[in-house]
Amino acid sequence: MIPEPRPTRPFTAASAPPAGPTTTGNRALLLEEPLLFESGSPEVSGVDLEDVPPHAFRLAGFERTRPIGLPGLSEGEAVRHYTRLSRQNYGIDLGPFPLGSCTMKHNPRLGEKLARLPGFADLHPLQPQDTVQGALAVMYALGEWLKALTGMPAVALSPRAGAHGELAGMLAIRAAHEARGDARRVVLVPESAHGTNPATAAFCGYAVESVPADARGRIDTAALLARLSPDVAAVMITNPNTCGLFESDLPVIARAVHAAGGYVYCDGANFNAIVGRVRPGDLGVDAMHINLHKTFSTPHGGGGPGAGPVVFSAALAPFAPLPFVVERDGRFHLVEEETAEADGHGSSFGRMAAFHGQMGMFVRALAYILSHGADGLRQVADDAVLNANYVLRRLEDVLSAPFGHAGPCMHEALFDDRFLEGTGLSTLDFAKALIDEGFHPMTVYFPLVVHGAMLVEPTETEPKARLDQFIAAMRALAETAKAGDVARFREAPRFAPRRRLDETEAARRPVLTYREPAIPRSEAA
DSSP per-residue letters across 77-104: HHHHHHHHHHTT---TTTS-B-BTTT-B
Smallest CA-to-CA distance from 166 within 240, 271, 237 is with 237
pLDDT tens sequence for the chain (525 residues) = 444 444 444 444 444 455 566 788 888 888 888 888 888 887 777 777 676 666 566 666 777 777 777 888 888 888 999 999 888 888 888 999 999 888 999 999 999 999 999 999 999 989 999 999 999 999 999 999 999 999 999 999 999 999 999 999 999 999 999 999 998 999 999 998 988 999 999 999 999 999 999 999 999 999 999 999 999 999 999 999 999 999 999 999 999 999 999 999 999 999 999 999 999 999 999 999 999 999 999 988 655 678 999 999 999 999 999 998 999 989 999 988 766 666 666 789 999 998 888 999 999 999 999 999 999 999 999 999 999 999 999 999 999 999 999 899 999 999 999 999 999 999 999 999 999 999 999 999 999 899 999 999 999 999 999 999 999 999 999 999 999 999 999 999 999 888 898 888 999 999 888 887 765 555 544
- Equal CATH topology for 133-366 and 375-508: no
Q: Is 95 exposed, middle or buried (0-12, 13-18, 19+ CB in 10 A)?
A: middle
CATH code for residues 375-508 = 3.90.1150.10
Per-domain residue ranges for the chain?
Answer: 133-366, 375-508
- H helices of 151-282, in order, are 162-179, 196-203, 221-227, 250-259
DSSP state, residue 517? P
CATH architecture label of 133-366: 3-Layer(aba) Sandwich (3.40)
In whole angstroms, give the CA distance from residue 45 to residue 77: 11
In whole angstroms, give the CA distance from residue 327 to residue 329: 7
End-to-end Cα spacing for the chain: 71
Cis status of the peptide bond prior to 408, with omega within 30 of 0: no
Question: Are 111 and 292 in contact, with CB atoms under 8 Å apart?
Answer: no
Question: Are 455 and 447 in contact, with CB atoms under 8 Å apart?
Answer: yes
- What are the φ/ψ torsions at residue 242 (nearest 5 degrees)? -75, -5
DSSP string across 443-507: EES-STTSTT-EEE---TTS-HHHHHHHHHHHHHHHHHHHHT-HHHHHT--SSSSS----HHHHH
Smallest CA-to-CA distance from 401 within 323, 357, 456 is with 456
Q: Give the 3-state secondary structure of residue 403.
A: coil
